[in-house]
Structure 1
Amino acid sequence: MRFVTTDHVALHYSDTGEKDKKVILGIPGIGGTSQFWHKMISLFNPIYRIILLDPRNQGQSERTDKGQRIARHAADVEELLASLNLHDVIGIGNSMGAANLWSYLDLYGKGRLCAMVDLDQSPKMIADTDWQYGFRDLSWMNYPDYLKRPFGKAFYAHIADEMFEAAKEEQEVFPYDARDNYKCLIDHAEQDWRDILKEMPVPMLVLAGKNSPFFDYHFTDAVKEINPDIETKVIDNCGHLIQAEQPEAMHDAVMRFLHKKKLV
């Protein structure tokens, strides 16, 4: 399915469509694909309606030079939810998808969300003297050229063959070019969401992959120091793509969180 944003960009989303269920909105990270969320859909769909959004320049969404900012991505989320007349949505973001949700909360307060789940995204990408848990070795000394380098493999554990093949087929039809999103990656790297974490307007769960090639999972401890009310969990035998590598463990952790917050 497609909808057109107020800046005239056509974005693709999938929707299981049930009108009587609470809604989960999933957002992949930069360069990511919603094809890696298919097992998650089957796990959550008995209880929840699942919507997956392909951010601009990714998946089946339009390639464009417009809106290469996290704030515009947040506006895309608001416009999609408004077009579907949805409220009390559970937002789940992997990597930069989580940053899109933090930006949404920054711009709209609670808005149309009732909870947020962060899948392996530190609230600050660039390490410095007061934050040790940035993206790999990214620092103000090597920024922004470091972001032009290939990131390498994002996952650690095996991804189910059917999801991997679906992602490969999508890439052949809708090829992704990292250069299209470089300005957005720069904007992503410059953000510091710790002030949002301090006063989260909705309950939040942070899941980190213990074997993530991108983030030290101990960032979850630092998040708890920022706000002890934020729930955290480290997923064993898992890299950066938690929804694809360990979908059952992710499902169990998220469901415990949602039961605790009475969002089931």
Structure 2
Amino acid sequence: MTTTIRTSDGVRLHHTDSGPASAPGGATVVLVAGYMASAATWALQVDALVAAGHRVVCLDRRNHGLSDFPDHGQRMGRHGQDLHEALEQLEISDAVLVGGSQGASTIWAALDLHGTARARAVVSIDQTPRMLNGDGWDLGFYGYERADAATYFAESIPQTGRGAGPERTLATLQVLAARVGGDPAEAIATLMPGLHPTTLPLLQDHALQDWRDVVARTAVPVLVVAGRDSQYWPAEHAAATAALAPQGRAVVLEDCGHAANFDQPERFNEALVEFVAGLPT
């Protein structure tokens, strides 16, 4: 089922809703994609989660996918508020919140504003809680230091020359495009349409955040997944982040880049389904 909700500032957010509304042992899993990615990038996870008996909601954030593209609200706090309002309107009170990259930061923003009353658990996919290096933290975005904090992400996501090469990204997108169907080039353009000018303030705001205190105050189970060959930051961020959480654990996927959920979909899905199945009822 595909439908929309409307936020308190008038923005329509697209989402899909798959799987059983309720089932013995089933959970409600809410998937939030990363920067520039549409909700359709979760197709391989939807298949696995629905097969395991779970309800799956995939949310397009504002200025992503099929949602509205306003000029306003381009900051992580507003994206966190949007997620909270989506959970309210969909009457979801026990969500397993799964975020890829900036989608994980959206979850931390929501929990910072509203706590975990609507969260049963959190999964962060290859997103360091602090992108800025320095002050004793060296697990941020490669090359991102305080001296250039105001300009580093002003025009795009910088290429780091680290981790998996561009051929890995193309290969993984082709696998996902095959699942979505249709012309492969058109499918990739829909899944990852590229940077939209309205989202540059969001990218800059995202890069300046530090979610470590939010992670430390998150009392529900937290799974932090990292790709060993992430193009953006060291995989050790997963263990460091999980150590902050009262109920944290980390998984590092080998031979895997930043987009872990479709870079290594089978191994990621196995870890995700196992984590959900092990949550306390």
TM-score by length of 1: 0.91
2:116 corresponds, among 110, 115, 123, to: 110
* Corresponding letter in the other structure for 2:33: P
Structure 2 CA distance for partners of 1:253 and 1:183, relative to 1, 3 Å: same
Is it true that 1:28 corresponds to 2:33 in the alignment?
A: yes
> Where in structure 2 are the equivalents of 1:75-154 lying within 5 Å?
75-147=81-153, 148-152=155-159
Q: Is the Cα–Cα contact under 8 Å of residues 5 and 76 in structure 1 kept in the other structure?
A: yes
Q: Which residue of 1 aligns with 2:198?
A: 180
Q: What is the Cα deviation at residue 129 of structure 1?
A: 2.6
**Structure 2 CA distance for aligned equivalents of residues 64 and 36 of structure 1:** 22
Q: Which residue of 1 aligns with 2:78?
A: 72
Q: Is the Cα–Cα contact under 8 Å of residues 16 and 50 in structure 1 kept in the other structure?
A: yes
Q: Which residue of 2 aligns with 1:44?
A: 49
Is it true that 1:62 corresponds to 2:79 in the alignment?
A: no
Q: Is the Cα–Cα contact under 8 Å of residues 209 and 239 in structure 1 kept in the other structure?
A: yes
Q: Is the Cα–Cα contact under 8 Å of residues 41 and 191 in structure 2 kept in the other structure?
A: no
Q: Which residue of 2 aligns with 1:164?
A: 177
Q: What is the Cα deviation at residue 261 of structure 1?
A: 2.5
Q: What is the Cα deviation at residue 226 of structure 1?
A: 2.7
* Corresponding letter in the other structure for 1:31: M
Q: Is the Cα–Cα contact under 8 Å of residues 19 and 50 in structure 2 kept in the other structure?
A: no
Q: Is the Cα–Cα contact under 8 Å of residues 155 and 238 in structure 1 kept in the other structure?
A: no
Aligned to 1:57, the other structure's residue is in SS state: coil
The range that moved more, 183-192 or 164-173, is: 164-173
Q: What is the Cα deviation at residue 196 of structure 1?
A: 1.3
The range that moved more, 11-20 or 163-172, is: 163-172
Structure 2 CA distance for partners of 1:98 and 1:215, relative to 1, 3 Å: same
Aligned to 1:145, the other structure's residue is in SS state: coil
Q: Which residue of 1 aligns with 2:240?
A: 222
Structure 1 unmatched ranges of 5 or more? none
Give per-residue Cα distances to partners, 1:1-56, cap 9 Å, x unaligned: 21211101111111115321421100111111222211111111121111111111
Structure 2 unmatched ranges of 5 or more? 160-164
Root-mean-square deviation over aligned CA pairs: 2.3
**Structure 2 CA distance for aligned equivalents of residues 149 and 84 of structure 1:** 33
Q: How many residues align?
A: 263
The range that moved more, 140-149 or 39-48, is: 140-149
Q: What is the Cα deviation at residue 203 of structure 1?
A: 0.9
Q: Identity over aligned residues, as a percent? A: 29
Q: Which residue of 2 aligns with 1:194?
A: 212
Structure 2 CA distance for partners of 1:249 and 1:97, relative to 1, 3 Å: same
Q: Is the Cα–Cα contact under 8 Å of residues 59 and 176 in structure 1 kept in the other structure?
A: no
Aligned to 2:124, the other structure's residue is in SS state: strand
Structure 2 CA distance for partners of 1:48 and 1:154, relative to 1, 3 Å: farther
**Structure 2 CA distance for aligned equivalents of residues 102 and 230 of structure 1:** 14
Q: Which residue of 2 aligns with 1:257?
A: 275
The range that moved more, 175-184 or 92-101, is: 175-184
Aligned to 1:213, the other structure's residue is in SS state: coil
Is it true that 1:211 corresponds to 2:229 in the alignment?
A: yes
Q: Which runs of 4+ in 1 moved over 6 A?
A: none
**Structure 2 CA distance for aligned equivalents of residues 99 and 30 of structure 1:** 10
Is it true that 1:235 corresponds to 2:253 in the alignment?
A: yes
